[in-house]
Structures are given as structure tokens and as C-alpha cells.
Amino acid sequence: MSARFGEVMTAMVTPFKKDFALDVEAVPPLVDHLIEHGSEGLIVCGTTGESPTLSHDEKLTLFETVAQSAGDRAKVIAGTGTNNTAESITLTKEACELGVDACLLVTPYYSKPPQSGLLAHFRAIADASTAPVIVYDIPGRTGRRIERSTMIELARHERIVGDKDAVGDAGETARLRSELDAEGLQDFELISGDDALVLPHIGAGVTSIISVCSHLVGPQIKQIFSAYSDGKVDEARRIFLELQPLFQTIMGGASPIPVKAALNMIGVEVGPPRLPLVEATDAEKKVIRAALESSGLV
């Protein structure tokens, strides 16, 4: 099965100015950087993009700016999911009108709906969308897991084409892949949502990743996929293990605090995070810089 939106997609940070205003002028250079460093898809206004702090209009501005900047060089996936179904439908429709390639729908957070509520929520948004949609299962942030039986039912919808799997259990990913295949749903794509599990996830059946660390090491993450696909499993493992220290450093704090600090250090200016997130401390920056130095990035 091929990766519909590319093997390496980046959960793009949102650039802000020092006064925390949206830095629209910094978006095209960031898009260029990501595409030049292996990103085949760009996720806009996801968790890493600090979506909880963005207004509706700011999200639309980002969708449009990224789509125009990327052109036909990369797929653009708009993060349009919220815990408000009506708001998600409106934002999804508007994103589709702006020409995005797909929409990413996170599990409704805080509300903790039952599985029947999840089915109704995702189906309602997919029914209203003119673009493919990917559901995003990240129970550590939302407080609610999309159960395997629910995911299989969602996979039957003609526009629900994939799952960003951030459950943190490659064994569970493998079980889901097996059950999807048994139901004849081989075309439903499983996408890794965890840099530190990308190789176990590939073994479990994912075809791509939505990565944070691809801001920094996109080509190396792409090499993991390529090596594995070519049967060079030892080579894929070597690259994967070499990247683990960086993965642990960048994903070890509240995202996107570490990756924003790292990008600023390598000369890709993305500014600070917005409250309630704060900039990395001096001690944290020292650790991040050491990880970048060890990886040959500074």
C-alpha cells in the first residue's frame, strides 16, 4: 500500500512574533525549509501548530498561506478537528474551499464522548467534507481512545481514509492493521504519530508518519522508510537508533516548546510559543543544543 500523502509528513509549528502575533511572513520560508528537508506533506494547525491558541480566522489564514506556499510540492492537511462538531464542520468546509488536500480530525478532547458519539462526530464532519479526512487517535491528550471496532466502522466511510496513530503501542497498531485487513479495508492507511516508535510502527503496518522531528531530520526519517522498504532492515534500525537521543530530547517536553527552540537555534526563525506554553528555559536550551550538536545540526 502506498502512502497517499507521502511517507514523511510534518506536524508544522506555527510561527509567532515576539509579541505572540501570528507571523504570516515567516510561514513561506518554513514551508520551503520543510519541503527541502524531506516533507511530502504538511499538517497545519495541529497540536504542534498550537491549534488551541489559534483563532478561527488565524487558522484559515494559515491554511491558505501554506497551500499557496507549498503549491504542488507537498500535500497540505488542515487540522480542522475540535471538540465542537458544528465548529469542526464549518472549519472543514472552509479549509476545503481554500484547496487543502485533506483534513485531520482529532478525537474530541475533554468531552470524552462514548464510542457512539465518536462515530457520529467523525461521520458528520466527513459527510460535510469534500476532501479526504484522517482521524487522529491520541488518548494521552484527549482522554478518549478510539476503540478498534469504532475505527473499523469509521474506515468504511468513503472519505475517512486514515488514522494518525498516537496511541503509543505498536502492538495495538498491529492488531488494528490485522483487523482492518480481515475486513477488506486494506486501503485504510495507518499513519504513525510518534517519532520514537516509527520503526516498530512500520513493522506493524503504518505506511507513513506525521512527525515533529522531521522539522530537523526529515531526510533521515525518510531513509528509515526507504531502507525498510528495500529490505535493509539493519540499516533502518541503525538510523532509527541513532535518532533516538534527538527524538527523546525534542519530544521530552511540552510540544512544541523544544522543537521551536531547536528551529530557532538552527536559523529557522519561528518565534516563541503562545501562552499557556512558554519558551524553553536556559537549562532546557542547553540540552536541546547538545542534542543538535550530537546530530550535526549546529
Whether 285 is catalytic is no
Q: 10 Å Cβ neighbour count for 161?
A: 20
Q: 75, 136, 228, 260: which one is catalytic? A: 136
**Peptide bond just before 258 cis, omega within 30 deg:** no
Query: Are residues 258 and 251 in contact, defined by beta-carbon separation less than 8 angstroms?
Result: yes
Which cell is 48 given? Answer: 504542534
Whether 228 is catalytic is no
Question: What's the CA angle centered on 231, arms 230 and 233, to 5 degrees?
Answer: 120
- Residues with Cβ within 8 Å of 39's Cβ and at least 6 positions away in sequence, in order, are 6, 8, 9, 10, 74, 214, 218
Distance CA 14, CA 21 (A): 11
- First and final C-alpha spacing in the chain: 37
Q: 164, 222, 228, 260: which one is catalytic? A: 164
Distance CA 188, CA 180 (A): 8
Backbone dihedral angles phi then psi of residue 55, each to the nearest 5 degrees:
-75, 165
41 DSSP β-pair partners = 9, 75
CA nearest to 85, candidates 54, 59, 113: 113
Instruction: Write down the residue that cell numbers 538510523 correspond to.
Output: 239
Which DSSP string corresponds to 146-157?
A: --HHHHHHHHTS
Distance CA 164, CA 161 (A): 10
Catalytic center residues: 136, 164
